[in-house]
Amino acid sequence: MIKNENSEKSDKEAKVLAQHIRMSVFKARRVIDQIRGRSYEETLMILELMPYRASYPILKLVYSAAANASNNMGLNEADLFISKAEINGGAIMKKLRPRARGRSYMIKKTTCHIKIVLKEKSKI
């Protein structure tokens, strides 16, 4: 589920929140740490060339945030940068796997919530 949040402040920013993404928090943080603070175009190049599975949902979120910024707020995509990117743990799906002698082991499938905020570079 993807939620788009837009705030009307003096600093225009485009926010995107994706919830219940089926991947580990630690694996997604490895990708997010590489793009935090970089420009939009540089982020796209980095995410497209990364060999990690976690980079694809993050790439889709960055595209979505940039589309929100250009369509809803009238910002130029070339002037955007990743001002905030965070990953939080989500719900854990649990199921039992049958084992020998009537026992069972727990299988935990972790999810995460990804939040990305794009801001416009200040023109000084």
**pLDDT digit string, tens, across residues 35-60:** 999 999 999 999 999 999 999 999 99
**pLDDT digit string, tens, across residues 78-91:** 889 999 999 999 99
**pLDDT digit string, tens, across residues 21-37:** 999 999 999 999 999 99
Question: Can you tell me the distance from the alpha carbon of 10 to that of 18, in angstroms, rounded to the nearest whole number?
Answer: 25
CB atoms within 10 A of CB 17: 18
**In this model, does residue 10 exceed pLDDT 60?**
no
What is the DSSP code string of 62-118? Answer: HHHHHHHHHHHS---GGGEEEEEEEEEEEEEEEEEEE-GGG-EEEEEEEEEEEEEEE
Q: What structural domains does the chain harbor?
A: 14-120 (3.90.470.10)
Question: Can you tell me the distance from the alpha carbon of 48 to that of 111, in angstroms, rounded to the nearest whole number?
Answer: 22
| pLDDT number for residue 57 | 94
Q: Which amino acid is at 36?
A: R
Place 4 in a pLDDT band, splitting at 50, 70 and 90: low
